[in-house]
Amino acid sequence: MDGRAYEPLAEIEVDQVKPERQGFMLTGQGPDNAEYQLDLRFGMPLDPRTRTVLGELLSHSDLIISRRAPGGLAQALRQRRNRAPQR
């Protein structure tokens, strides 16, 4: 792995878990007061008991969404900024 760290994009407190055909739709609000939605899909069928247990567990969860920028992104942004007309 390279040394670049993951940067948190959003921390969401799950308010609602809605069962969907292949998983769940989680909705919640972040500290920025924005509404977030996450579709969680499974590649296999879930039996009713498993679906119930997963839904209950997910309804008491928080989500932290993080990302690691591609290697060249920071350098590309610096180059773009340096080429921008100065005011």
Q: How is the chain split into domains, by residue range?
A: 8-83
- CA–CA separation, 57 and 28 (whole Å): 15
Which pLDDT score is estimated for 73?
A: 61
- CA–CA separation, 43 and 71 (whole Å): 30
pLDDT digits (tens, 9 = 90+) for 56-82: 999 999 999 998 877 656 666 776 777
- CA–CA separation, 32 and 46 (whole Å): 34
pLDDT-based confidence at 86, cuts 50/70/90?
A: low
Question: Does the pTM exceed 0.75?
Answer: no
pLDDT digits (tens, 9 = 90+) for 2-60: 567 888 889 999 999 999 988 999 999 998 999 999 999 999 999 999 999 999 999 99
